[in-house]
Each structure stands twice: as C-alpha cells, then as structure tokens.
A and B are shown apart, each in its own frame.
Chain A
Amino acid sequence: MKLKRHGILAGVMLTAALALAACGSDNNTDSPTAGSSSSGASADCATGKLTAQGSTAQTNAVAQWVKDFQAKCSGATVDYQGTGSGAGIQAFGGGTADFAGSDSPMKAADEQPKADARCGTGNKAIHLPMVIGPIAVVTNLSGVTDLQFSASTLAKIYSGKITTWDDAAIKADNPGATLPGTKITAIHRQDSSGTNDNFTKYLSKAAAADWTYDHAKDWKAPGGQGETKSDGVSTAVAKTDGAIAYVEWSFAIANNLHMAKIKNASGEFTALSADSAGKTIASAKVDGTGNDLKMTIDYNTPAAGAYPIVLVTYEIVCEKGNQADKLPLLKSFLGYAAGDGQATLTRLGYAPLPSDVQAKVAASVKALA
C-alpha cells in the first residue's frame, strides 16, 4: 500500500516536471523589445537588445563596456555571458548569440564553416580583435613575492620535470631569492579554454625543446591540478601555498595575486604592464583577409621590453547578413568598444589595441551589414 502511494506521487511529480521542462525551453531567443531606429541620445546610439556570449577572458572588459554603453545610450541592452570561447562560437553558429567572444580564432575545419552558414549563403563570419588580454603567471609561495621565469622553466614545471620550488632551474632564474623546498602545485585550466591554447602556444614556440605537448584548448600534459574557468584558477592559487598558475591579467589583479616576470626573447625579465604587453601585440601580424582581422602573435618577438605571453580576444560577427533589426545596435556597440571603450581597458587588466589595429577594427565595424 505504501509503495503504491509513492508510485502515484512519483507519477504526478514526473508529469509536472515534464510539463515544466516543456515550458522552459525557448527563453533564449528574445525578440528585440524596441524599434531600432537611431533616435537615441547621441548619433552613435541605437536601441534594442543584443545577446552575446563566449570567452571568459574578456568578460570583465565587455561587462564594463556594456555598463558604460547602456549609461550613454538609454534603450540599448547588451547581454554578454562568459560561457567560454567554444560555447560562444557554438551559440553564434546556432543563432542564439548575436556575436561571440573568442580568445582563439575559429577552427577552419568545423567552427568557421558553421559560423559562415549562420550568416547566410555567401557571407562569412569575421574576427574583430577587441581586447588584448595578457596572461599573467601567478604564484603563491609564502615569503617569496617576486619570482621570475624563463619559458623553459615554465615548460618544465608544467610538464612535471620540476617539482619543488628550490629546483636548480628556478634558482637560476631567480638569483638572490630564498626559495623553500615546497612542492609545486602546477594549476591548469581543465575546461577547454583559449587561455590554455595561448599559454601552450607560447610554451611550444618559446620553449620548443622542453614543451612536447603542442598547443590546444584542452590541457594535454599529465598531472598537475585542474581548475575550471579563470576564477576557479585564481581562487585556487590564492588558497594554495606553493601554487603556480597562468590566468588573464584582469583576474590576477582582481584577486591580488603575485605576478611573475617573464623572460622574453631578448633575454630580459619583463614585468606585465599594458605597455610591455602592447609591444608584443605591435609586432603581431594580421593574417585575415579583408575585414577579417585574425592575428598571429610572435611569442619570440625581439622587441625590447616586450612581455611575451599575450592573447588577443576577438568578437566574432557576421560581416554581412546580420539581422536588420539588430544591425544598428551591433555597429553602435562594437564601434564604441573599438573606440572610446579601449580607454577603459588598462584599469581592468587588459591592454588597449595598438592604434593601427584599432583603426582597422573601426573600419571593419563600419562595414558590417
């Protein structure tokens, strides 16, 4: 009898759950709430709503832009979710995001064609570099705050060849520092991430002899400690004595983590600053065509005073074939980001685009249709 009663209850709950699930499925596609005429406060303003998602590396920058832009342009709503680059590209391809944030260019094999298809026949999805996110190497070692590393030492730490802080290689990079024999907890991103891709790209280019795991969004080296998302990495470093990790500059600043100096190709140990990161970006070359501004970073740049571990994060949009009712707001928001928005970046732990790249991005945004 008891059992029967439970069966009925379960049946009722099941039915209710199914009914609820059916109701909740299509909240993602909001239609624009207001008309999109440019009758806002300024000529650059448009109204309506944009939904975007992607790279967590640029979340803080986009959040600041959204705040400033919405204050400037009443009637405009931009919603950006830091779901990760892969998820953003996927949402863009599936039509649920009006633009996507990504910290690696789309893969030519599968991601690019899907994104192109979303933009309509004959149109393509383009990359607009928007934010330069230097990657900080952060440490938490009691009593030692100023550490410096060469690429080869970092590669050895992350491939498990160096396991204690008083290892000879670390001592060689840090003459004069008193290093304890603490075990190193090497923390990496276990979710698929553009930060992984850029950090391992750096290791594979700058320490080719010691890093045999190539580069990928997924972490390949065995061992270490995996954490999820940039904030997961930051909090884990802050809590763990003997930890080392790589994380976007903004997260390092926000969590007050100790940032290490990194040895560049000209042999200097360089601290991370907007200026030193900008020097690496200035030597990067654009290898997209037309309005597509995909970039390749030279991690072995000979430029003096350059901080070599940087990543460029892109906004991915349709070059042509954008929804007519969203286009004015898209152009107005991205135009703001590439223009006035760049000035707010340094404070947040990003570096602004060098002026020549900035001009190209502004021109590409103008050409969106």
Chain B
Amino acid sequence: MNPPSLPGSTQSAEPPEREQSPWGPERRLPESTPAADAATTRAQEARVPVDLGRRKSLNGEKLFRWLTTGSGAAVLVIIVAIAVFLIAKAIPAIQGDKVNFLTEKTWQVPDRVFGVAALAFGTVYTAVIALIIAVPVALGIALCLSHYAHRTVATTLGFVIDLLAAVPSIVFGLWGREYLIDPVRDLSAWLHKYFGWIPIFGSDGPYGKSILLGSLVLAIMILPIITALSREVFQQTPKMNEEAALALGATKWEMIRTAVLPYGRPGLIAATILGLGRALGETIALAMTLGGTFVISWDVVEVGGNTIAANIANHFGEADDFGRGALIASGLVLFAITLVVNVTARVIIYRRREFRSAL
C-alpha cells in the first residue's frame, strides 16, 4: 500500500523517491526477480531492523486493526439498527390496533384487529415439542459418536449430521408437506386411537398439517446443532473420571451415567437452548407444514398451528404499509423471545467456564 514498505517496487517504479529512501545502498542492486527481492529484504533486515519494524506497524498492522475493529463495531451497529427499525415500524401499528396486541389471537389487519397471542403460543409450543423429540435423539447420536462408534464411523456419521445442517429449510418444508405428511397422518390416527385419553392427542381429525408435523420437521432441523455441541462436550469428559468409573466396576452405560452425563449436563442444557433459539426463528419450513390457524390449542395432532415467523412469511406479500408494521410488531415479539432464550443459554454456559470453548 505505502511505497516505503515495498522497497523493490519503489525503486523501480518511482526513481525520484530514491533520494528520500532510507535504503540508499540497495539502489544499485539488480531488481525484478523474487529471489532478488528476498535478498534485498534480508539485506535490509540485517542492516536496519528497527526502522523496518516501525514502518510495518504503521501501515499494515494499523490498517488491519482498524478493519477488524470496524467489523466488530458493525455488529453492534447492526443489532441496534435492527432494534430501532423494529420498534419504529411497530409503534404505529400497535397504536392503530383496536385490541390488545399481546392478548388478541386473530390476525385481521384490515379490521385493525390483530395480536400475537396465538402466534407466540404456537411459536413456543412448536419449538418445545421439537426439542422434546430432538434432544433424546441428539443425545443418543452424540454419545454414540463420542463413546461407542469406531473412530472412522464416528467421523463419517459426524460429517453426515453436519450435512443435515446444510440442507436449506425450504427443502425440509417441501419434504414435510409432500412426503412426511402421509406417515404423520397415520401416526396421528394411531396416537389418537391408543393415547386419545391424553388431551394433546384428543382430536379425532382431520389430521395432516398439524403441530406434530411441523415439530417433527423442526426436530430434524435442530438435530445437527444439538448433536454437534453435545458431542463436543462429551468428548471433553476427563479420561481420568471415565477410567475411575470403570475401575470401580461400572459398565459402559454406568460409566456414561456417572461420569460423562453429569460432567456434560451444563453443555447439554446450553446446546438444547441454542437449538430452541434456532427452532423459534425457523420460518419457511413451518409456513409450509403448519395448518396456519389462529387458535390456541394444546392438541398436537389436529390440523392447525401457526408461528410468528410463518405468519410473517405468509402475510408479507399481500400486506400494505400498516400490515407490514403489524407484522414487524410481531417480529419484535419474536426478537424478544429469542433474546431471552439466548441470554439464558449464555448465562448457563458462562456459569461453567470450561464449556466456553464449545461455542
């Protein structure tokens, strides 16, 4: 960037500067080949090392420091800008709402009657059910990868799990609504037939695009993040703890239960909450697999369900200025929910410092 740091080019391209150059003796050296350049540099370093060091830090180092500081600051600026944007756009919509935005269930923007109650309920409920399905499976995969599977198998399987994270959510959504819906319909009927006395399976139909379908798709989507984090944590279990357990006569399962799981619990909780954060924000897969109703119901098998993000995706295209404001207001609620979840995760992680490196 700055000529003095590139002595070779300075000398050949700008002869007038020779007079100001501190490396006078090198002027007469032949130039133009890399080898020659390197020789020059070595020669310079041998003669005036302090001078050269100072100049380097003036140019490359400082510039780079500014760049990184700028990038870091940009993150803060962006977060603040998003918050300000959400609040500024949401306020007129919430003021124009005829009912309480937080307790109203329906979304009738042209009538100025809309609220997030059903949407926020659906968002949290769907995400929690997805976690209930995903966490045990993720735990099993993570333990298999860290303690049971052969190294090569574990590497391959880990790679495949990570691959799952790379599948775009719209593909999961399509797969859910085109394929998974049929088995889920049968599963719903089965659940109702044998477990219908449990209220969450109480609906006698119709089945199909239900919270169960949405949560199953969501569970598959959050599986990789939970698996990857818990595997990392389980692998950090001190070998001595494990060997001590085995030495006391524990079987492998007892060793995992007494040494690995207690050690990894905070990390597992953190992984779960990060998965929850991901599930709360998932948009298009749920827009495609939920029934899109505005009802608060604990029933997971009946057609229905909706989330804040899915509602935004479904209504944004047709919304006018006010309608977009209303959707943004719902986005603000989602922002608040995910913020709480993420802060909780951080608090748990920081309480046990040894898990910092897992993130």
Q: Which bracket fits the contact residues of A? A: 35 or more
- Verify A192–B319 contact, CB threshold 8 A: yes
Q: Does B224 contact A (CB under 8 A)?
A: no
Contacting residue for B315 out of A10, A90, A182, A192, CB 8 A: A192
Contacting residue for A220 out of B71, B106, B206, B306, CB 8 A: B106
| Residues of chain A contacted by B70 (CB below 8 angstroms) | 11
CB of B89 to closest CB in A, whole Å: 16
Of A42-50, A79-87, A199-207, A284-292, the segment with at least 4 beta carbons within 8 Å of chain B is A79-87
Q: Does A180 contact B (CB under 8 A)?
A: no
The CA of A222 and the CA of B107, in the complex, are separated in Å by: 11
- Verify A228–B106 contact, CB threshold 8 A: no
Q: Does B39 contact A (CB under 8 A)?
A: no
The CA of A226 and the CA of B210, in the complex, are separated in Å by: 11
The CA of A22 and the CA of B108, in the complex, are separated in Å by: 34
- Verify B319–A86 contact, CB threshold 8 A: yes
- Verify A228–B71 contact, CB threshold 8 A: no
Which chain B residue has the least Cβ–Cβ distance from A89?
Answer: B320
The CA of A228 and the CA of B291, in the complex, are separated in Å by: 10
- Verify B320–A110 contact, CB threshold 8 A: yes
| Residues of chain A contacted by B207 (CB below 8 angstroms) | 183
Number of interface residues of B (CB under 8 A): 38
Which chain B residue has the least Cβ–Cβ distance from A218?
Answer: B108
CB of A90 to closest CB in B, whole Å: 6
Given contacts A183-B204, A216-B111, A218-B108, contact A7 B72 (CB under 8 A): yes
Q: Does A105 contact B (CB under 8 A)?
A: no
Q: Does B205 contact A (CB under 8 A)?
A: yes
- Verify A8–B71 contact, CB threshold 8 A: yes
Q: Which B42-94 residues have C-beta < 8 A from chain A?
A: 67-68, 70-72, 74-75, 78
Q: Does A298 contact B (CB under 8 A)?
A: no
Given contacts A90-B320, A183-B204, A218-B108, contact A10 B71 (CB under 8 A): yes
Q: Does B236 contact A (CB under 8 A)?
A: no
- Verify B293–A87 contact, CB threshold 8 A: no
| Residues of chain B contacted by A84 (CB below 8 angstroms) | 317-318
Contacting residue for B318 out of A182, A217, A225, CB 8 A: A217
CB of B271 to closest CB in A, whole Å: 18
| Residues of chain A contacted by B303 (CB below 8 angstroms) | 185, 223-225
- Verify B314–A185 contact, CB threshold 8 A: no
- Verify B294–A11 contact, CB threshold 8 A: no
Q: Does B181 contact A (CB under 8 A)?
A: yes
- Verify A218–B107 contact, CB threshold 8 A: yes
CB of B61 to closest CB in A, whole Å: 14
CB of A356 to closest CB in B, whole Å: 33
Q: Does B109 contact A (CB under 8 A)?
A: yes
A-B contact count (CB 8 A): 102
Q: Does B295 contact A (CB under 8 A)?
A: yes
Contacting residue for B317 out of A87, A216, A222, A225, CB 8 A: A87
Q: Does A242 contact B (CB under 8 A)?
A: yes
- Verify B71–A14 contact, CB threshold 8 A: yes
Given contacts A228-B287, A228-B314, contact A11 B72 (CB under 8 A): yes
Which chain B residue has the least Cβ–Cβ distance from A188?
Answer: B292
- Verify B292–A15 contact, CB threshold 8 A: no
Given contacts A15-B71, A184-B206, contact A190 B318 (CB under 8 A): no
| Residues of chain B contacted by A216 (CB below 8 angstroms) | 108, 110-111
Q: Does A193 contact B (CB under 8 A)?
A: yes
Which chain A residue has the least Cβ–Cβ distance from B108?
Answer: A218
- Verify B206–A86 contact, CB threshold 8 A: no
Q: Per-position contact with B for A1-13: 1 when CB-CB < 8 Å, else 0? A: 0001001101110
Q: Does B231 contact A (CB under 8 A)?
A: no
Q: Does A191 contact B (CB under 8 A)?
A: yes
| Residues of chain B contacted by A182 (CB below 8 angstroms) | 205
Which chain A residue has the least Cβ–Cβ distance from B304?
Answer: A223
CB of A4 to closest CB in B, whole Å: 8
Q: Per-position contact with B for A226-252: 1 when CB-CB < 8 Å, else 0? A: 111000000010011011000000000
CB of A33 to closest CB in B, whole Å: 28
Q: Which B291-316 residues have C-beta < 8 A from chain A?
A: 291-295, 303-304, 306, 314-315
| Residues of chain B contacted by A227 (CB below 8 angstroms) | 292
Given contacts A87-B317, A225-B292, A228-B314, contact A12 B108 (CB under 8 A): no
The CA of A192 and the CA of B324, in the complex, are separated in Å by: 13
B108, B178, B303 pick with most chain A CB within 10 angstroms: B303
The CA of A53 and the CA of B323, in the complex, are separated in Å by: 19
| Residues of chain B contacted by A217 (CB below 8 angstroms) | 110, 318
| Residues of chain A contacted by B314 (CB below 8 angstroms) | 190-191, 226, 228
| Residues of chain A contacted by B292 (CB below 8 angstroms) | 190, 225-228
The CA of A217 and the CA of B320, in the complex, are separated in Å by: 13
List the interface of chain B (C-beta within 8 A of A): 67-68, 70-72, 74-75, 78, 106-111, 178, 181, 204-209, 287, 291-295, 303-304, 306, 314-315, 317-320, 323
Closest 5 CB pairs of A and B: A11-B71, A226-B292, A183-B205, A192-B318, A86-B318
